[in-house]
Structure 1
Amino acid sequence: MSTVTVYTRAGCHLCEVAIATASRIAAETGSVVTTVDVDADPEDQAEYGDLVPVILVDGRMHGYYQVDPERLRAALATGPAAGP
């Protein structure tokens, strides 16, 4: 099972759309979606603040600004990346 993390911020319409799209696709694939408020942590804000919504799959950058449904489905279909 993979984890999709969406970095968001309050009042971000694109974030709401990204969460809804990621949640729908995650449900199709048996994956989990979590959200992180980018403004809650200065390091997250410095790294991702200008790019929200930011989408990570299993902790790896997948995309930003919007979710490409087919690309996300493909990433989740391969399952979690193997660890060392």
Structure 2
Amino acid sequence: MNDQSGDSTAEASTAPATTAPVTVTLMVRRTCGSCARVREQISPVCAALGVRLEVVDVDAETALAVEFGDRVPVVLVDDEEIACWEIDDEELEDAVRAARAARA
């Protein structure tokens, strides 16, 4: 009996996690040329992977402007920083896969 209840609990906790989308967040400044370049680069990668891309202007909030300073663009996957200034497509793909695996 305990084995069966353990299995159903695992299934119940796994189901919502696998349906929740991975989020890629790009921290930018409107006046940042590198930010625009990275956004153009990763947009099709995110679309191909079926993940949501959120673009956040750090100047919209004082706390974010202080935290990131001139250190933009910054790429986060599920709120974990994976790159600053530049990112390879493969690096982004690996981080998304790892985030999905962590949810499984």
Q: Tell me if both proteins adopt one fold, taking TM over 0.5 as the criterion.
A: yes
**Counterpart selection for 1:9 from 29, 47, 59:** 29
SS in structure 2 at match of 1:52 = coil
TM-score normalised over the length of structure 1: 0.87
CA distance in 2, matches of 1:31, 1:59: 14
SS in structure 2 at match of 1:17 = helix
CA distance in 1, matches of 2:101, 2:65: 26
Give the match for residue 55 of structure 2: 35
Runs of 5+ unmatched residues, structure 1: none
TM-score normalised over the length of structure 2: 0.72
Q: Which has the larger radius of gyration?
A: 2
CA displacement 1:19-50 (0-9 Å, x = unmatched): 11221111111101011111111111111122
**Counterpart selection for 2:93 from 62, 70, 73:** 73
| Pair 20,80 (structure 1): closer, same or farther in 2 beyond 3 Å | farther
* Number of equivalences: 82
**Following TM superposition, by how much is the alpha carbon of 1:81 offset from its aligned partner in structure 2, in angstroms?**
4.2
Give yes or no for contact 1:55–1:64 (8 Å, CA) kept in 2.
yes
Identity of aligned residues (%): 34
**Structure 1 position 64 matched with structure 2 position 84:** yes
| Pair 75,13 (structure 1): closer, same or farther in 2 beyond 3 Å | same
CA displacement 1:60-82 (0-9 Å, x = unmatched): 11111012211101111232744
Give yes or no for contact 1:9–1:38 (8 Å, CA) kept in 2.
yes
RMSD (CA atoms): 1.4
Runs of 5+ unmatched residues, structure 2: 1-20
